[in-house]
Amino acid sequence: MSNFVELSIAKAINAGLRKCMQENPKVLMFGEDVAQLGGVFRVTEGLHAEFGDKQIFNSPIAESGIVGTAIGLAMRGYRPVAEIQFDGFIFPAFDQIVTQLAKLQNRSEGYTPMPVVIRVPYGGGIGAVEHHSESPEAYFAHTAGLRVISPSNPNDAYWMIQQAIASNDPVMFFEPKRRYWQKGPVNLDEPPMGPYQARVLRDGTQVTIATYGPMVAVALQAAEIAAAEGMSIEVIDLRSISPIDFDTIVNSVKKTGRLIVAHEDSTFVSISSEVAARIAEEAFYHLEAPVLRVGGFDVPYPAAKLEEVFLPDADRILEAVDRSLAY
Amino acid sequence: MVQLLTPDGEYGVAKQWSEYAQYIDKLTEADFLKFYRDMARMRRFDKEAEALQRQGQLGLWIPAVGQEAAQIGSGYGVGHNDHIFPSYREHGVAITHGIDLMSILKMLRGVNHGGWNPEETRFHLYAIVLGSQVLHATGYAMGVKMDGKVGNGDIENDLAVISYFGDGATAEGDISESFLFAAINHSPIVFFCQNNQWAISSPVTSQTKVPLYQRGAGFGVPGIRIDGNDILASYAVTAKHMDEAREGAGPFLIEALTYRMGAHTTSDDPTKYRDAAEVEYWKARDPLLRFETFLRRQGIAQDFFDEVAEAGEKLSTEIREATFALPAPPVEHMFKYVYSEPHPLIEEQLAWLHKYEAGFGEAAHE
C-alpha cells in the first residue's frame, strides 16, 4: 500500500523541496524573501528553520543576479533552485536564462551541465496589480536548452519539483499560483510518471481538450458541464510544455477527431500555436474539425476588475467545443 | 595609480606601494623571462590571428594588442587552484593558464563556441554577452565559500575567483549586481577591469562618470587603479588581492588602465572615431617595449630576445598550419550538447536531417 497524504499544491512543492534538500546538501533554495518569510506564497515556509542559511537564503532584489549566481553555483557543483517571486518579474533575468543558462551545456560541449531549477509562480486569477498575473512560459518554451514544466495538482507538484531538481538540464518550473491552495492526495512513495509526459485526466470520445497548469481545473469543469449535456470530452494535462508529449495528444485525436488547446497565455505565438501546427501535421486525416484555441486575449494582462473577462473560463471552452462539433 | 615600472622601463616603488613590491621581490630572473616570453607570444599570436582573419581563414578576430601586460601579469598573479572567468579578449590570460590557443581560434573560425573543460582548466569559457560571466564568477565564489575553501591558510586547497571584463561592460547591470552579491556574501573574488579606453567606438567617458576603480565602493567593494601597461604592477596587485581574497578578505576591484591599440574586432575601423595622436601617445607606452627595456637594463642579453623572436616565427607557422587543418564539425555537433538527457525534438530533427541529407545521395558529400 502506498503512503498517501492530503496536501495543497503549495505544501506539496514545499514537501518535495524539503525531501531534495534533506537528501542532498548541494540542493540550494534562494530568491527574494524565501528564507524566514517562506516566500510571498509561503511555498518555502519552514525550510529555513530546518536547513538554515547554508541551504536556503534570501537574495537581493536583482533577478539577473539571482539566475547569474545560480549558474555560477551550478558550475561549482551545487543544484540551485531559484525562486522568481512573480511571473512578471522574470524579465530582468531573461538574458541570463536565455543566453547563459540555456546555452552553457551546449557552449561547453557537455562539460558544464546546468542542473538549475527556476521556480516561477505564474498566471492570473488572484486580483493582483500589474505584472503579478502573467503567463510567460512560451518565451522559455521557445528557447532550446531549457525544459519547461508545470504541475496542475498536488501529486504532480510534489514529484515534478523533485524530478526537476534531479535533472541535469535547466528546468523552468511554472507553478499555477491561483491553484496553490488546491488540495489533493499525494503519493509519497512513487512518482506517477516522468516529468515530460502528458496525462489523460478524463476519458472522452467526442472532443479532446489539451491544457496545462491553472487551466486544467477549468477544462475538467467544462468537461463535467458538457457531460451533463450528453457530450463526451477527453481532457489531457500536458504537464510539460517543453518538450511536449505530442504522442499522447495524437492518440487522443485519433479517437475524438477534435482538439481544443487552452491556456491563460495570449494565444498569438503560444503553446497552443505549436500544438495546433503539430497536430495538423501529424493527425491531419484524423481531424474532423480544425484545431481550436482558447486563451487570453492578445492584450497586456488587464487590471484585476477585468481579469475574469480575460481568463478563459468553462463557458469559453464550451463555446469552442460547440464550434468544433459544428464542423 | 599603482605603477612599479615607468613607461621608460625604470623600476621604482613609491612608498605607499611597498606591500605590492614584496611580490616582485620574490620573483626570479626566470620569472621575468617567462613574463616577457608570454607577452611576446601573445602579441605574435594576435598578429597571426589577425592575418588569418584578413585572409578569410577566421570569421573574426578580437585583437588584444596593447593589453599584454595587463593580461600576462594578472594571469600569473592567479593561483594554481583559482578559477578564472574571462570575457572574450583574454587571450593572454589563457596563455598563462595553459589553454591551447587553437581552442580560441576554433571559436573564431566557427568550428564551435568554446568547448574546453572549464572545471579542469579553471579557465572558464569566453563570454560574448558583456558582464554575463561576472555573475557566474560571483556565484562560483559564493559556492567556494560555502565549500569552506576560504581562509584556512591552506594554499593547496583554498581558492579564489577572478573575473575579467572591460570598461564597456561596467555599464551592464550584471556588473553592478555582481558587486552587490559579492559584497553581501563576502565572497572570495577579484574583479579585474581592463579599461582599454574604448568600447567599440564609444570612449570610456560615455560609460562612466567616476573612475571605474571607484565603481565598487558604493556596493562595499574596495578598488584600486593600476598602470595596466606595467606588467609588474599587474602581476603584484593581482597576486596580492587574490591572496587576500583566498584568505577571506572579501571582494576587490582592480582597474587596469591600458589601451586597445587595434580595433575592437576585425569588423571595425578605429580611424573613424579616434585621433592618431591618441594612438601615438599610447604607442609610447607599449607594454612589451617597456618590459624589454627593463630586462635589457637588468642585463638580459640579445640572445634571449633573438630566441623569443624565433619562437614567435615558429608559433606563427604552427597556428597557421593548425588553422588550415581544422576540420568542420559534423552536423551531429549542432544537436549533441543541447540537452544532457534525451530530448524528443532533438532526436527527431537529427533523424530527419540524416534522412534529408541521404536523399541527395553521393552529391551530399561533394
**Which CATH number does the domain housing residue B31 bear?**
3.40.50.970
User: What digits encode the pLDDT tens for the residues B82-136?
Assistant: 999 999 999 999 999 999 999 999 999 999 999 899 999 999 999 999 999 999 9
- B159, B83 in Cβ contact below 8 A? yes
Same domain, B250 and B272: yes
Determine the structural domain holding residue A310 and report its residue range: 199-325
Contact across the interface for A60 and B124, Cβ inside 8 Å = no
User: What digits encode the pLDDT tens for the residues A87-136?
Assistant: 999 999 999 999 999 999 999 999 999 999 999 999 999 999 999 999 99
Specify if B247 maps to a domain. yes
Which of chain B's residues have a Cβ under 8 Å away from the Cβ of A248? Answer: none
- Where is B213: in which H helix or E strand? none
Contacts 24+ apart (CB under 8 A), A191-195: A191/A159, A191/A162, A191/A163, A192/A155, A192/A156, A192/A159, A194/A163, A195/A147, A195/A149, A195/A159, A195/A160, A195/A163, A195/A164, A195/A167, A195/A171, A195/A239, A195/A240
Q: Over the range B253-271, which residues count as b (16 or more CB within 10 Å of their CB) and which as e?
A: bbbbbbbbbbbbbbeeebe
Same domain, B154 and B262: yes
Q: In terms of CA atoms, which chain A residue is nearest residue B343?
A: A243
- A12, A66 in Cβ contact below 8 A? no
Q: In terms of CA atoms, which chain A residue is nearest residue B344?
A: A243
How many Å apart are CA B246 and CA B150, to the nearest integer? 5
Partner B contacted by A281 (CB < 8 A) = no
User: What digits encode the pLDDT tens for the residues A35-75?
Assistant: 999 999 999 999 999 999 999 999 999 999 999 999 999 99
Mutation target among A112, A116, A238, A282 for the B interface, most CBs of B within 10 A: A112
How many Å apart are CA A314 and CA A294, to the nearest integer? 10
pLDDT of B156 higher than 90:
no
Specify if A291 maps to a domain. yes
Same domain, B198 and B135: yes
Sorted by sequence, the CB contacts under 8 Å of residue B350 that are 6+ apart come out as B331, B332, B335
Specify if A24 maps to a domain. yes
Same domain, A180 and A320: no
Specify if B34 maps to a domain. yes
How many Å apart are CA B116 and CA A222, to the nearest integer? 54
> What average pLDDT does the structure give for chain B?
96
Alpha-carbon distance values, B172 to A68, A92, B87 (Å): 13, 12, 13
Specify if B94 maps to a domain. yes
Contact across the interface for A54 and B146, Cβ inside 8 Å = yes
| Cα–Cα nearest to B266, from B29, B52, B24, B2 | B52
Give the pLDDT band of residue B361 (cuts 50, 70, 90): confident
Specify if B8 maps to a domain. no
User: What digits encode the pLDDT tens for the residues B198-220?
Assistant: 999 999 999 999 999 999 999 99
Which of chain A's residues have a Cβ under 8 Å away from the Cβ of B112? Answer: 109
State the count of interchain CB pairs (< 8 A) between A and B: 136
- Asked which of A187, A210, A239 is the last residue of a domain, the reply is A187
Same domain, A203 and A256: yes
Task: Give Rg (Cα) of chain A.
Answer: 19
Same domain, B314 and B350: no
> What average pLDDT does the structure give for chain A?
98
Cis peptide leading into B7, omega within 30 of 0?
Answer: no
Same domain, A36 and A150: yes
The alpha carbon of residue A106 is apart from the nearest alpha carbon of chain B, in Å, by 5
B329: burial class by Cβ within 10 Å (0-12, 13-18, 19+)?
middle
A 236-255 → B contacts, CB under 8 A: 243, 246
Which of chain A's residues have a Cβ under 8 Å away from the Cβ of B172? Answer: none
Which one of the listed residues B225, B260, B285, B290 is annotated catalytic? B260
Same domain, A54 and A149: yes
Specify the pairing of strand A259-266 against strand A292-296. parallel
- Where is B34: in which H helix or E strand? helix B29-54
Give the pLDDT band of residue B244 (cuts 50, 70, 90): very high
Q: In terms of CA atoms, which chain A residue is nearest residue B345?
A: A243
pLDDT of B364 higher than 80:
no
Same domain, A136 and A225: no
Same domain, B42 and B22: yes
Specify if B36 maps to a domain. yes
What is the CB neighbour count within 10 angstroms for residue B127?
27
Same domain, A208 and A174: no
Output the pTM of the full model.
0.97
- B2, B17 in Cβ contact below 8 A? yes
Specify if B3 maps to a domain. no
Which of chain B's residues have a Cβ under 8 Å away from the Cβ of A169? Answer: 339-341
Here the CATH number for the domain that contains residue A294 is 3.40.50.920
Same domain, A223 and A96: no
Asked if the ipTM is above 0.90, the reply is: yes
pLDDT of A323 higher than 60:
yes
Same domain, B265 and B357: no
Percentage of chain B exceeding pLDDT 90: 97
Question: Taking residues A22-43, what's their average pLDDT?
Answer: 98
How many Å apart are CA B42 and CA B312, to the nearest integer? 9
What's the pLDDT at B115? 82
User: What are phi and psi for residue B21, nearest 5 degrees?
Assistant: -60, -25
Q: How many domains does chain A have?
A: 2
Contact across the interface for B132 and A99, Cβ inside 8 Å = yes
Same domain, A206 and A110: no
Same domain, A106 and A180: yes
How many Å apart are CA A115 and CA A173, to the nearest integer? 13
Which one of the listed residues B91, B124, B225, B264 is annotated catalytic? B264
Specify if B33 maps to a domain. yes
Q: Over the range B112-123, which residues count as b (16 or more CB within 10 Å of their CB) and which as e?
A: bbbbbebeebbb
- A150, A212 in Cβ contact below 8 A? yes
| Cα–Cα nearest to B93, from B139, B50, B124, B62 | B124
- A94, A146 in Cβ contact below 8 A? no
Among partner residues B134, B136, B340, which is closest to A105 by beta-carbon distance? B340
What's the pLDDT at A2? 79
- B150, A113 in Cβ contact below 8 A? no
Mutation target among A76, A97, A167, A278 for the B interface, most CBs of B within 10 A: A76
Specify if A1 maps to a domain. no
- Asked which of A160, A187, A214 is the last residue of a domain, the reply is A187
Same domain, A79 and A204: no
Q: Give yes or no: A132 in active site.
A: yes
Give the pLDDT band of residue B155 (cuts 50, 70, 90): confident
A163: burial class by Cβ within 10 Å (0-12, 13-18, 19+)?
buried
How many Å apart are CA B66 and CA B326, to the nearest integer? 28
Sheet holding A147-149, edge to edge: A56-58, A27-31, A79-83, A117-122, A171-176, A147-149, A240-242
Percentage of chain A exceeding pLDDT 90: 99
Q: Give yes or no: B264 in active site.
A: yes
Estimate to the nearest angstrom the gap between the alpha carbon of A234 and the chain centroid: 20
Partners of A63 in the β-ladder: none
Same domain, B117 and B251: yes
Alpha-carbon distance values, B210 to A286, B193, B258 (Å): 67, 14, 17
- Asked which of A187, A207, A237 is the last residue of a domain, the reply is A187
Question: Taking residues B150-171, what's their average pLDDT?
Answer: 96
Contact across the interface for A108 and B180, Cβ inside 8 Å = no
Specify the pairing of strand B83-85 against strand B161-166. parallel
Same domain, B210 and B349: no
The alpha carbon of residue A277 is apart from the nearest alpha carbon of chain B, in Å, by 15
Contact across the interface for B114 and A109, Cβ inside 8 Å = yes
User: What digits encode the pLDDT tens for the residues A174-185?
Assistant: 999 999 999 999
B51: burial class by Cβ within 10 Å (0-12, 13-18, 19+)?
middle
pLDDT of B11 higher than 90:
yes
Which one of the listed residues A48, A131, A132, A286 is annotated catalytic? A132
Same domain, B290 and B359: no
Determine the structural domain holding residue B337 and report its residue range: 332-365
Same domain, B115 and B199: yes
User: What digits encode the pLDDT tens for the residues A197-223?
Assistant: 999 999 999 999 999 999 999 999 999
B 329-358 → A contacts, CB under 8 A: 336-341, 343-345
Q: In terms of CA atoms, which chain B residue is nearest residue A246?
A: B344
Specify the pairing of strand A147-149 against strand A171-176. parallel
Same domain, A31 and A178: yes
Specify if A46 maps to a domain. yes
What's the pLDDT at B363? 63
